[in-house]
Amino acid sequence: MRTRTGLGVAAVCSCAALFAAVGVGRGSGDDAASALSGHPKASLFAPPKGPYVALGDSYTAGPEIPDQHGKPAGCDRSDRNYPALVADGLGLNAHEFRDVSCNGATMGDLFASQSTDNGVNPAQLSAVSAATRLVTLGIGGNDIGFSSLITTCVKAGVRYQLENRIGDPAADDAPCRGLHSAAGGDRIEAKTEAAGRRLAGVLRDIKRRAPDARVYVVGYPAILPVKGEGCARAMGLAPGDVSFLRHKEQQLNSMLRDKAEAAGAVYVDTYTPSIGRSACADRDVRWVEPLMPSAPAAPVHPNERGERGMAQAVLRTVRSAG
């Protein structure tokens, strides 16, 4: 058992403090959560014939999005996360839906219990049985160390800004990418490949436990934009490192898609519908909060709008898959 924080939560919180210390402030405007209304319509989707189990990490759990519920409390599950909205959209009752996602989870925590700062989450796969008819799985970011990579890049970006290198043609506008390359090889790519092998084993185990279940592997939404506009203020990143980090996330999503398809599962693309809604977008459209959130959510994690968008992507995929 291990104590661990979620995808970027503890690491980016420390970076947020650094960010605030150098005078980069929050945006202004109304709470982004107030823009949300309605639920996915149950009438559009045929509910499965049996229980739904949601597995995953903090992007599934929804840390700091109210209301937090479930046990253990340290898993930081929201009753407005995408699994809850999917269950609602499918018209499932409380006995037909079980969310065992947990902040900080890796693929290892699907097979073994996970200690949190407030309780122990049983092995997530223990919730999957022969009766299960629907499984969603959103995991992988912690396996590749994406949170520590963001931390490294934010620190490098803050130094870059403090040194007034922006616009300097002699400056490397991707200092984090340079540090990553200097360390020798593409370690994130190697970790992604290793995570892919573990995911293949996870999907085989789900099939063994629940042979009649429909399985959906849920990808990550766009954390960063196509270009770096707004990311110096919102995320403290140097311009070139925005592209570097975006590429690493896309590699992760590509791996999730490939392994899902190879195992006969279905990949859910949450990246495409979230383009233009990254952590660097305006607060009234973004799905992912920046280092200093303006809506209730953990730093660099989906807000309520993001969880709702992810739920809609899952529901569309469930409907199209029949």
CB atoms within 10 A of CB 298: 26
Q: Please report whether residue 241 resides in a domain.
A: yes
Higher pLDDT, 92 or 2: 92
* Average confidence score pLDDT of the chain: 87
pLDDT tens by residue, 288-315:
999 999 999 999 999 999 999 999 999 9
- For residues 175-197, average pLDDT: 86
CB-CB contact of 269 with 138 (8 Å): no
Q: By residue range, what is the domain housing residue 159?
A: 9-321
Q: Please report whether residue 103 resides in a domain.
A: yes
Q: What is the DSSP letter of 230?
A: T
Number of domains the chain is built from: 1
Kind of pairing between the strands at 77-78 and 266-268 = unpaired
Please report which helix (H) or strand (E) contains residue 135, including its range. strand 134-138
Q: Please report whether residue 146 resides in a domain.
A: yes
Catalytically active residues, by annotation: 58, 301
Q: Please report whether residue 256 resides in a domain.
A: yes
Q: Please report whether residue 234 resides in a domain.
A: yes
The pTM for the full model equals 0.87
Phi, psi of 215 (to 5 degrees): -115, 130
- Distance CA(322)–CA(319), nearest Å, equals 5
Q: Please report whether residue 4 resides in a domain.
A: no
Q: Please report whether residue 217 resides in a domain.
A: yes
Q: State CA 59 to chain mean position distance.
A: 3
Per-residue confidence (pLDDT) for residue 169, from 0 to 100: 58
pLDDT tens by residue, 207-220:
999 999 999 999 99
Q: Please report whether residue 2 resides in a domain.
A: no
What CATH number is associated with residue 284? Answer: 3.40.50.1110
Look up tokens 């809850």; give the residue: 84
